[in-house]
Amino acid sequence: MKLRVIGLLLLLFPLLAWATPLKPGHDAVASAQPFATQVGMQVMAEGGNAFDAAVAVSAALSVVEPYSSGIGGGGFWLLHDAATGKGIVVDGREYAPAAATATMYQDKNGNVIPDGSLNGPLSAAIPGEVAALVYINQHYGKLSLAQDLAPAIKLARDGFPLDRRFHEMLASRADKLKQWPAAWKVFYPNGQVPPEGYLLKQPDLANTLELIARHGAAAFYTGALAKQMVDAVRAAGGIWSLDDLHDYQIKLRTPLTGDYRGMKIITVPPPSSGGIVMLEALNILSGYDLAQDSELMQKHLVIEAMRFAFRDRAEYLGDPDFVRMPLQRLLSPYYAAGLRASILPDKATPSNELAPVTPEAPESQHTTSIAVMDGSGNLVGGTFTVNFRFGSGFMPPGTGVILNDEMDDFVSKPGVPNGFGLVGNSANEIAPHKRPLSSMMPTFLYTRRGLAILGTPGGSRIISMVLLGTLNYFNGGDAQSIVSLPRYHMQYLPDVVFYEPGAFTADEITGLGKMGYTLKEIHPYGNMQSITWDYRSGKVSAAADPRDIGTAEVK
């Protein structure tokens, strides 16, 4: 009898092995800061999975890259659980305090107050990162929260040598941070920008992280720490309440899925605009066989697709819990076909025939993205932020936590551009406990060849960067080419195509000029992280954007 069972099992074995989904067999991390990448690899070497690593890397980034993201900010974590084959978006986006109003950044004449939504505690929304990380640890991790947070606590307590990027960020933000004494004291010892290599210790942040490690999210959203933050915010002119913190919850969102000529795309739905805008652009583009077109024609079509999709962003998108959005229509192939039909093969469509022109988006360098994969095939893409460099600049004394300035992602006044030059209307106006519209969009791509994780900071340019990376992967690219690729961007308004040196050849610049485009070369931008896995060769590649100091490791 026993023998028969064994025989049956032996017979079934090849079948079972075949049915088991492929596993990459390698751990990989790409992040914007070398210490954070190391932390991720270390946590997986110690028995953690990709979810533990993502929590550990995110927490470490709040210590080693606080100008980009941190526990005073929020973001989106896109997860793929290999065991169940299921994907989920953990929406840890900040929400507006209950006392926020649609016109809170306007003066009594209805003019937008410069800097109102960008500087100081009034610009800070209620942070979501702590709730998101604790949720991921509890529901997906193998290690305890304390284990996942331990490396970040160590980096904060023992310090780490300041890198070139951090030094530059401190030099560029000294004027802003000088206004906020607690942040000034932590980041400018002796009132000076510390030199590269300086051992930066953040004992208050270490204590805050330790409290969270010990007591979970409640330690941040309730109790003494919450009171400390609320008191400090209010004393400095902000409007947070204890209830705002207490009531904050992450939202679990079903990932947005799309298809581009057989490639499956899994990405972030509203309250990020990223997924919708990219899928709309890809729907427009899927009607062309781009590979058959000249490089010039391809770029023309991609730019036009960006223009139309960004126009709909401004018109329709906001927090899905507050506004009704015609998402089905925006993502319908028929709608895309209509837009495609309006694109002339030899002419740019002037945006200013559709709405008033707005000033250009300023350069930006903050927010962070991570890509993590473990040997079992669990995947995490995360993009999270405090918004502009060092967020609001405000640090509640004694907490070590830099608060975000995410309120600027709302529309302060319809038609008036925000810090990224983005316009919008009532769909994205401020309301109590509403989430500001984001562009952040960690994304997974699946083809017959393999899969890719990609994501980047860059405000509104996130969407065009991920779009170009997606097309690159479709055309046979890998992690390295996805992050290296020269970039260009169009966001409907302003009616300008921004491009990095090398994105267009001299002939393409002439050709696009003849079609009526206004082109503007700008400094290299973005900080993309990517991992790709080629099914056939089994090769796992990880790459950090060569424009910045991030690193990627595969083991």
Q: Whole-angstrom distance between the N-terminal and C-terminal Cα of the chain? A: 44
Sole binder of ligand DON in the list 33, 439, 472, 551 (CB under 6 A): 439
Annotation says 367 is catalytic? yes
Q: Does residue 72 bind ligand DON (CB under 6 A)? A: no
Contact 404, 73 (CB under 8 A): yes
Part of the chain binding ligand DON (CB under 6 A), chosen from 43-51, 142-150, 435-443, 496-504: 435-443
Residue with tokens 């992690």: 479
Q: How far is the CB of 351 from ligand DON (least distance, A)?
A: 20
Cis upstream peptide for 271 (omega within 30°) = yes
Residue with tokens 């005073």: 72
Part of the chain binding ligand DON (CB under 6 A), chosen from 169-177, 335-343, 362-370, 495-503: 362-370
Sole binder of ligand DON in the list 364, 412, 464, 491 (CB under 6 A): 364
Helix extents (H) in 485-549: 506-515
Q: Does residue 365 bind ligand DON (CB under 6 A)? A: yes
Sole binder of ligand DON in the list 251, 366, 434, 435 (CB under 6 A): 366
C-beta closer to ligand DON: residue 459 or 511: 459
C-beta closer to ligand DON: residue 383 or 551: 383
With contacts defined by CB under 6 A, how many residues of the chain interact with ligand DON? 15
Q: CA-to-CA distance for 333 and 338, rounded, in angstroms?
A: 9
Q: How far is the CB of 255 from ligand DON (least distance, A)?
A: 17
Contact 367, 457 (CB under 8 A): yes
Sole binder of ligand DON in the list 438, 470, 472, 532 (CB under 6 A): 438
Q: Does residue 367 bind ligand DON (CB under 6 A)? A: yes
Q: CA-to-CA distance for 15 and 10, rounded, in angstroms?
A: 10
Q: How far is the CB of 459 from ligand DON (least distance, A)?
A: 4
Q: Does residue 457 bind ligand DON (CB under 6 A)? A: yes
Q: How far is the CB of 505 from ligand DON (least distance, A)?
A: 27
Sole binder of ligand DON in the list 458, 494, 511, 550 (CB under 6 A): 458
C-beta closer to ligand DON: residue 119 or 387: 387
Q: Does residue 464 bind ligand DON (CB under 6 A)? A: no
Q: CA-to-CA distance for 85 and 82, rounded, in angstroms?
A: 5
Q: How far is the CB of 161 from ligand DON (least distance, A)?
A: 24
Q: CA-to-CA distance for 197 and 161, rounded, in angstroms?
A: 4
Q: Does residue 409 bind ligand DON (CB under 6 A)? A: yes
Q: How far is the CB of 463 from ligand DON (least distance, A)?
A: 9
Token pair listed for 461: 């340019």
C-beta closer to ligand DON: residue 51 or 388: 388
Maximum separation of any 2 CA atoms in the chain, in Å: 89
C-beta closer to ligand DON: residue 32 or 543: 32
- DSSP for 319-368, written as a single string: -TTT----HHHHT-HHHHHHHHHT--TT-PPPGGGTS---PPPPP----E
> E-strand spans in 32-170?
74-81, 86-92, 160-161
Binding to ligand DON (CB under 6 A): which residues in 245-264? Answer: none
Sole binder of ligand DON in the list 24, 396, 424, 459 (CB under 6 A): 459
Q: CA-to-CA distance for 52 and 140, rounded, in angstroms?
A: 8
Contact 390, 404 (CB under 8 A): no
Q: CB within 8 A of 384, min separation 6: which ones?
A: 58, 61, 69, 73, 74, 75, 76, 77, 92, 129, 132, 367, 368, 440
Part of the chain binding ligand DON (CB under 6 A), chosen from 109-117, 125-133, 146-154, 360-368: 360-368
C-beta closer to ligand DON: residue 365 or 392: 365
Token pair listed for 511: 């050709």
C-beta closer to ligand DON: residue 24 or 127: 127
Q: CA-to-CA distance for 56 and 44, rounded, in angstroms?
A: 10
Sole binder of ligand DON in the list 401, 440, 452, 554 (CB under 6 A): 440
Given 37, 367, 383, 385, which residue is catalytic?
Answer: 367
Sheet holding 529-534, edge to edge: 256-260, 263-267, 443-446, 450-455, 529-534, 540-544
Contact 116, 410 (CB under 8 A): no
Part of the chain binding ligand DON (CB under 6 A), chosen from 11-19, 151-159, 345-353, 433-441: 433-441
Catalytic residue list:
367
Chain residues binding ligand DON by CB under 6 A are 364-367, 385, 387, 406, 409, 438-440, 457-459, 462
